């Protein structure tokens, strides 16, 4: 797996998601697709099989967080769906992350890539202190979680493109950074506060960018996808 653009298929139904992906049928490059909670909870594992069956790679963004035994068993099920990339919350502890890896690993030793969410970008210093009783500066918390994910044997983290460089410094160039918050230079940021263009994300070393509305909401999604690929993959 190399650098790629992951299209966030944030649709409420399988019908809408498949109709969107139908538009890419003539494309030589099949988009890497992110399936999140909304679509997965609406349609269940069948939507994963359906999109996988059409030849797309899949990032299943379900952000698991539970006791290690439960996460291990859930990951075993996800591994059977042949997804390519899955995630969990680093806050679940190293023990939970190690259990997740064990559950993901198939009998033949293969497994999907596993990455960790550090601190959600919806969490800020104030909410971290008030709600979670974590007093350290948020950037240090993010880096600590990244290092714990690395220690547990995970493949990388989801992070802001602005954090990508620091994560690579702390955890090594091979530790994957998957970055949402991507916008075209002439596009609308919407509710994303800290954004980067695909070209900037490439420059700072992100391995994957996750792009939703700039592609799904574009008048011409194919052109928007091609532009992302041209800027980010080259």
As measured in angstroms, the least distance from the Cβ of 32 to ligand C5P is 13
Nearer Cβ to ligand C5P, position 96 or 115?
115
As measured in angstroms, the least distance from the Cβ of 10 to ligand C5P is 5
* DSSP sequence for the chain: --SEEEEE---SSHHHHHHHHHTTTT-SSPPEEEEEHHHHHHHTHHHHHHHHHTT--EEEEEEE-S-HHHHHHHHHHHHHTT-SEEEEEGGG-HHHHHHHHHHH--TTS---EEEEE-S-TT--HHHHHHHH---S-HHHHHHHHHHHHHHTT--EEE--TTTHHHHHHHH-TTSEEEE--B--TTS--TT-SS-B-HHHHHHTT-SEEEE-HHHHTSSSHHHHHHHHHHHHT-
Catalytic residue among 3, 30, 52, 63: 63
Nearer Cβ to ligand C5P, position 10 or 231?
10
Nearer Cβ to ligand C5P, position 8 or 114?
8
Residues near ligand C5P (CB under 6 A): 8, 10, 36, 120-121, 158, 180-181, 192, 210-214
As measured in angstroms, the least distance from the Cβ of 136 to ligand C5P is 19
As measured in angstroms, the least distance from the Cβ of 190 to ligand C5P is 6
Nearest residue to ligand C5P on Cβ basis: 212
Give every CB contact of residue 124 below 8 A, 6+ residues apart in sequence: 138
Q: Is 63 a catalytic residue?
A: yes
Nearer Cβ to ligand C5P, position 38 or 203?
38
Known catalytic residues are 63
């Amino acid at each position: 797996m190399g650098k790629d653009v992951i299209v966030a298929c944030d649709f409420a139904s399988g019908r809408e998601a498949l109709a969107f992906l139908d538009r890419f049928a003539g494309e030589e490059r099949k988009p890497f697709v992110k399936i999140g909670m909304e679509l997965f909870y609406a349609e269940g594992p069948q939507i994963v099989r359906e999109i996988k069956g059409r030849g797309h790679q899949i990032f299943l963004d379900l952000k698991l967080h539970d006791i290690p035994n439960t996460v291990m068993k859930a990951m075993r099920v996800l591994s059977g769906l042949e997804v390519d990339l899955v995630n969990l919350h680093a806050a679940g502890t190293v023990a939970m992350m190690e259990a997740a890896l064990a559950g993901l690993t198939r009998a033949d030793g293969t497994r999907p890539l596993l990455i960790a969410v550090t601190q959600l970008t919806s969490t800020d210093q104030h909410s971290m202190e008030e709600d979670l009783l974590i007093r350290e500066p948020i950037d240090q918390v993010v880096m600590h979680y990244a290092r714990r994910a690395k220690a547990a044997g995970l493949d990388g983290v989801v992070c802001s493109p602005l954090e990508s460089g620091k994560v690579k410094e702390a955890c090594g160039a091979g530790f994957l950074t998957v970055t949402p918050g991507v916008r075209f230079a002439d596009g609308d940021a919407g509710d994303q506060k800290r954004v980067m263009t695909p070209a900037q994300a490439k420059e700072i070393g992100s391995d994957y960018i996750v792009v939703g509305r700039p592609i799904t909401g574009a008048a011409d999604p194919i052109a928007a996808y091609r532009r992302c690929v041209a800027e980010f993959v080259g």
